[in-house]
A and B are shown apart, each in its own frame.
Chain A
Amino acid sequence: MTARPAVARAWDEQAQGRAQRLVRVAGRLGKRLSGKVVAAADIVPLLESVIEPGDRVCLEGNNQKQADFLAKALTRVDPKLVHDLHMVQSVLALPEHLDVFDSGIATRLDFSFSGPQAARLAKLVSDGRIAIGAIHTYLELFGRYFVDLTPRVSLVAAQAADAEGNLYTGPNTEDTPVIAEATAFKGGIVIAQVNEIVAKVPRVDIPGDWVTYVVQSPRPHFIEPLFTRDPAQISEIQVLMAMMAIKGIYAEYGVQRLNHGIGFDTAAIELLLPTYAASLGLKGRICKHWALNPHPALIPAIEAGFVESVHSFGSELGMEDYIAARSDVFFNGPDGSLRSNRAFCQTAGHYACDMFIGSTLQIDLGGNSSTATLGRISGFGGAPNMGSDARGRRHASAAWLKAGAEAAGATREGRGMPRGRKLVVQLVETFREHMQPAFVERLDAWTLAESAGMALPPVMIYGDDVTHILTEEGIANLLLCRTEEEREQAIRGVAGYTQVGLARDHRLVENLRDRGVIRRAEDMGVDKRMATRDLLAARSIKDLVRASGGLYKPPQQFRNW
Chain B
Amino acid sequence: MERLEFRFIGGRALEPAAARLVGVVGSGNLEVLVESAALNGACTVEVNTAAEGFGAIWNAVVTDFFARHPLGDVRISINDNGATPAIVSLRLDQAAEEFAAAVSVRDKQP
Contacts and interface: CB of A to CB of B under 8 A. Distances in A.
Interface of A: 235-237, 240, 429-431, 433, 435, 471-473, 496-497, 502, 528-529, 531
Given A429-B84, A435-B84, A497-B61, A472 B89 contact: yes
Contacts of A473: 86
A536 B61 CA distance: 27
Interface string B72-90: 0000000000001111011
A65 B70 CA distance: 56
Nearest to A471: B86
B93 interface: yes
Nearest to B54: A435
B84 A431 contact: yes
B46 interface: no
Interface in B32-80: 51, 54, 57, 60-61
Residue from A240, A429, A473, A529 having most chain B Cβ neighbours under 10 A = A529
A502 B54 CA distance: 14
B90 A237 contact: yes
A472 B90 contact: yes
A252 B60 CA distance: 31
Contacts, number: 42
Contacts of A429: 84, 86
A235 B101 CA distance: 24
Given A497-B57, A528-B97, A240 B90 contact: yes
B87 A235 contact: yes
Nearest to B97: A529
A418 B84 CA distance: 43
Contacts of B97: 528-529
B86 A237 contact: yes
A497 B90 contact: no
A435 B85 CA distance: 9
A240 B85 CA distance: 14
A433 B84 CA distance: 8
Interface residues of B, number: 17
Nearest to B89: A472
Given A235-B87, A496-B85, A528-B94, 18 more contacts: A236-B90, A237-B86, A237-B90, A240-B90, A429-B86, A430-B86, A431-B84, A435-B51, A435-B84, A472-B86, A473-B86, A497-B60, A497-B61, A502-B60, A528-B97, A529-B98, A531-B90, A531-B94
Given A497-B60, A502-B60, A528 B90 contact: yes
A65 B57 CA distance: 45
10 contacts: A236-B87, A236-B90, A237-B84, A237-B86, A435-B54, A472-B89, A496-B85, A497-B85, A529-B94, A529-B98
A531 B86 CA distance: 12
B87 A237 contact: yes
A528 B93 contact: yes
Contacts of B89: 472
Nearest to A237: B86
A227 to B, nearest CB: 24
A496 B86 contact: yes
Contacts of B90: 236-237, 240, 472, 528, 531
Interface string B15-37: 00000000000001000000000
Contacts of A430: 84-86
Nearest to A502: B60
A503 B37 CA distance: 35
A429 B89 CA distance: 13
Contacts of B54: 435
A234 B105 CA distance: 32
A528 B101 CA distance: 13
Interface string B86-110: 1101100110011001000000000
A507 to B, nearest CB: 14
Q: Which of B84, B89, B93, B98 neighbours the largest number of chain A CB atoms within 10 Å of its CB?
A: B84
B40 to A, nearest CB: 29
A431 B61 CA distance: 14
Contacts of A235: 87
B105 to A, nearest CB: 14
A124 to B, nearest CB: 35
A240 B93 CA distance: 12
Nearest to B84: A431
A535 to B, nearest CB: 13
A236 B98 CA distance: 16
A229 B98 CA distance: 31
B31 to A, nearest CB: 13
Nearest to A528: B93
Contacts of A471: 86
Contacts of B28: 433
Contacts of B94: 528-529, 531
A473 B68 CA distance: 13
A317 B57 CA distance: 43
B80 to A, nearest CB: 13
A437 to B, nearest CB: 10
Contacts of A240: 90
Contacts of B98: 529
B110 to A, nearest CB: 26
Nearest to B59: A497
